[in-house]
A and B are shown apart, each in its own frame.
Chain A
């Protein structure tokens, strides 16, 4: 009787069963207040027939609507319990369809507003673009290698400790003079050479402290290319400056001042 047979519907185009139902009704100029339930149900079922079972939830939503349509048709055929015949079984479905149609229209208006707003730019926080993180590197170590590495672990050697107590601190003055003399002689000197004559760590400590203080006063400058590389002490711009006050820092060390060990 109609072009019913030619109706081809791709369910993927629709946002859900209400969307599909509305399409069937509006595209065939059907009066929404007098829906031919049997015909629409047939078309609806035909449309969802090829619905892929990939998305069970989605398929379920369409099937639920199909069941509701069949129930409505059944209620229209059967005489309802007395006192209920005034209510058209289609009423709730019609109300939902109209409500959904209205929401769809509002969503279109919101899209327009969104587009208009999108053409206006305001200051705002720009999220830093995510930096690509290197993926996990597959572990390529074999058990043999692990075993070899484990076998290579040597227990730390017991080292003989020297229990020596230094009662006489090394005077900073001595180290200041040493450094100043060195950079006066040559443009630069390696820190290791300055401390080479002494075994005790305290000499190195005092030499470093003296070097840092002289560096602060720009009598020398300290340079190191990278961590743990040799430290060089260079002649600084204030090399001639009076540094005699630095001895005051270890005034109480002066009476105990020792000769060099060497």
Chain B
């Protein structure tokens, strides 16, 4: 048994992303460097042999995932785990928490302009958001932050993968010409 096979077995059986450090715990002979080398070997092997799955970096770890082109076949099976999509309001609240964490419910509501008790509860229930601290002030409100489950849900390798505000088309400084606005409408 070589390192790559051991690593492959672990990734195959795991239902959550694992870091190279996690994987190295499998055997005394393994360390992070050897795991990294094994991962590179597996990656190359999967690409060369055209496997249906590939190694993806997710939530600071790696996970075996099928390639997107197989989705239509897999979606027909109840036995294939699938994550359900979030509602629009939940996505909005989640975006606010992701960018402004740690943040209280009241602040989320101020940004959205609407009550957000229900959507925040949903996000907590789905493990995407959790209380991370207590704020100052009356009642010391719970401050929320995102979880590693959040990164898994969106397939982000780390929080760095979040869209950067400066990359967004929203005009923050000025809206000089109507052409800008028309682009936005589109």
Instruction: Enumerate chain A interface residues (CB-CB to B < 8 A).
Output: 15-19, 26-27, 29, 31-33, 57-58, 61, 65, 96, 98-107, 109-111, 113-126, 129
Would B68 and A116 count as touching, CB distance under 8 A?
yes
- C-alpha gap A7/B68 in the complex (Å): 43
Interface size class of B (residues with CB under 8 A): 35 or more
Would B112 and A100 count as touching, CB distance under 8 A?
yes
What mask results when residues 150 to 186 of chain B are scored 1 for a CB within 8 Å of chain A, else 0? 0001111000001101001110101100100100110
The interface residues of chain B lying within 8 Å CB-to-CB of A102 are: 165, 168, 170, 172
Would A117 and B81 count as touching, CB distance under 8 A?
no
The interface residues of chain A lying within 8 Å CB-to-CB of B48 are: none
Q: Is B64 an interface residue (CB 8 A)?
A: yes
Q: Is the interface of B mostly helix, strand, loop or mixed?
A: mixed
Residues 79-116 of B contacting A (Cβ, < 8 Å):
79-83, 85-86, 88-89, 91-92, 94-96, 98-99, 110-115
Q: Which of A29, A100, A121 contacts B111 (CB 8 A)?
A: A100
Would B95 and A106 count as touching, CB distance under 8 A?
yes
Q: Which of A18, A33, A98, A120 contacts B155 (CB 8 A)?
A: A120
- C-alpha gap A103/B98 in the complex (Å): 10
Q: Which of B16, B64, B114, B170 contacts A61 (CB 8 A)?
A: B114
- C-alpha gap A160/B66 in the complex (Å): 77
Top 3 A-B pairs, shortest CB-CB distance:
A117-B155, A124-B81, A16-B114
The interface residues of chain B lying within 8 Å CB-to-CB of A126 are: 78-81
